[in-house]
């Protein structure tokens, strides 16, 4: 039964948003003729599937067909997504059971789908055919420099282009092991900084408690620099004074002992930019240059690589 790529699934896996149902209970099925009605006349069939689904969000049972009231004389058939094979099975119930308890005489078939495009699922029982169409949409894309693209002065991307895809929900996590007692503020500032990036990128950010689920990880370790970032990770140095609470704040700050310089909020903004895929630039008005705040060049980069890229459909 698996040769056509179809598999039996439980109702629990059904990603159903809509269903088409057609009862086959012919008007004459219970007529008092004394003769048992034709095979298949006790059966009903429905196909459940979303209308639109992203190719990377499929699960087994993306399209699920449920035949019920299937008796042993009846063959049911299901073809999903214009696929190469049709799955065929026979019921096991007696006709009287199929009539009395159709929910106990069910056959379910379903599978995950296929390449992006519009596909048709077809279920056949008796002389009845039920069809549903499903559109599989492409996976989300990450922005990369298009052919012929001219690098602007105010922003630049690392090798891969954008690290996240458009409209992604970026789950972030802080590895608190090794966090120094004087290094609390820089962590407390993270949600506010990400909220700003959410506005300018159309990404969303949510803290996760599952390290392995994190798309963006902050961690404390010996880095040799105050902070390092790139490709979804940011590291704070465990004993660099610049990441400690004395240097809290954004823009230029003055420490309690009279030093003046960038607040460590500037460092985090800069490193989050790296984590999202941005590189350094010479433009002194950009935070990826030497500015103490997000500049017009940075905004142009955030908008071009994230905010202005269409969200994936489905
Ligand atoms: Zn940097």
Q: Domain ranges for the chain, please list them.
A: 11-137, 169-307
- Percent helix, strand, coil in the chain, to 5, is 20, 30, 50
Rounded distance from Cα 271 to ligand 1 centre (Å) = 6
pLDDT greater than 50 at residue 168: yes
* 201 CA to centre of own chain: 17
Note whether 49 and 114 are within 8 A (CB): no
Assign 137 to helix, strand or coil: strand
Report the length, in residues, of the chain.
Answer: 314
Q: How far apart are CA 62 and CA 298, in angstroms?
A: 41
Rounded distance from Cα 48 to ligand 1 centre (Å) = 50
Q: How far apart are CA 45 and CA 106, in angstroms?
A: 9
Rounded distance from Cα 64 to ligand 1 centre (Å) = 50
pLDDT greater than 50 at residue 31: no
Note whether 124 and 107 are within 8 A (CB): no
- Among 132, 4, 118, residue whose Cα is nearest residue 55: 118
Q: Which two tokens stand for residue 194?
A: 């990400």
33-42, 139-148, 292-301: lowest mean pLDDT where? 33-42
Residue 126: pLDDT band (50, 70, 90) is: confident
Rounded distance from Cα 246 to ligand 1 centre (Å) = 21
**11-137, which class in CATH?**
mainly beta
pLDDT of res. 80: 76
Rounded distance from Cα 175 to ligand 1 centre (Å) = 21
pLDDT of res. 127: 81
Rounded distance from Cα 235 to ligand 1 centre (Å) = 12
Rounded distance from Cα 288 to ligand 1 centre (Å) = 6
> Once rounded to an integer, what is the mean pLDDT over residues 109-117?
78
pTM for the whole thing? Answer: 0.72
**Beta-carbon contacts of residue 218 (< 8 Å; ≥ 6 apart):** 172, 173, 174, 175, 187, 190, 233, 234, 235, 236
Rounded distance from Cα 311 to ligand 1 centre (Å) = 28
Rounded distance from Cα 263 to ligand 1 centre (Å) = 15
In the chain, % of residues over pLDDT 70: 87
CATH number for the domain whose boundaries are 169-307: 3.40.390.10
Q: What are phi and psi of 180, to 5 degrees?
A: -70, 155
Give the residue with greater pLDDT, 231 vs 125.
125
């Amino acid at each position: 039964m698996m040769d056509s790529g179809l598999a039996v699934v439980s109702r629990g896996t059904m990603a159903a948003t809509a269903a088409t149902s057609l009862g086959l209970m012919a008007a004459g099925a219970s007529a008092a003729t004394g003769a048992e009605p034709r095979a298949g006349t006790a059966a009903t069939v429905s196909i459940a599937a979303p209308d639109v689904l992203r190719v990377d969000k499929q699960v087994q049972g993306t399209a699920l067909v449920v035949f019920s009231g299937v008796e042993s004389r009846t063959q049911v058939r299901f073809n999903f997504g214009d696929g190469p094979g049709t799955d065929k099975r026979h019921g096991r119930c007696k006709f009287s059971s199929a009539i009395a308890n159709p929910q106990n005489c069910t056959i379910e078939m379903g599978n995950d789908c296929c390449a992006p495009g519009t596909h048709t699922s077809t279920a056949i029982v008796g002389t009845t055919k039920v069809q549903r169409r499903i559109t599989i949409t492409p996976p989300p894309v990450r922005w990369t420099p298009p052919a012929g693209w001219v690098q602007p002065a105010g922003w630049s991307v690392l090798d891969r282009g954008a690290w996240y895809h458009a409209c992604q929900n970026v789950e972030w996590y802080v590895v608190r092991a090794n966090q120094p007692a004087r290094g609390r503020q820089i962590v407390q500032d993270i949600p506010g900084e990400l909220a700003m990036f959410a506005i300018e990128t159309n990404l969303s950010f949510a803290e996760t408690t599952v390290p392995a689920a994190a798309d963006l990880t902050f961690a404390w370790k010996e880095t040799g620099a105050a902070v390092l970032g790139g490709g979804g990770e940011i590291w704070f140095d465990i004993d660099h004074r610049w990441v400690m609470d004395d240097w809290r704040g954004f823009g230029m700050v003055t420490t309690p002992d009279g030093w003046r310089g960038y607040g460590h909020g500037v460092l985090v903004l800069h490193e989050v930019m790296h984590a999202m895929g941005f590189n350094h630039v010479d433009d002194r008005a950009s935070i990826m240059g030497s500015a103490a705040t997000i500049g017009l060049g940075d905004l142009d980069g955030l908008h071009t690589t994230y905010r202005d890229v269409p969200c994936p459909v489905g």
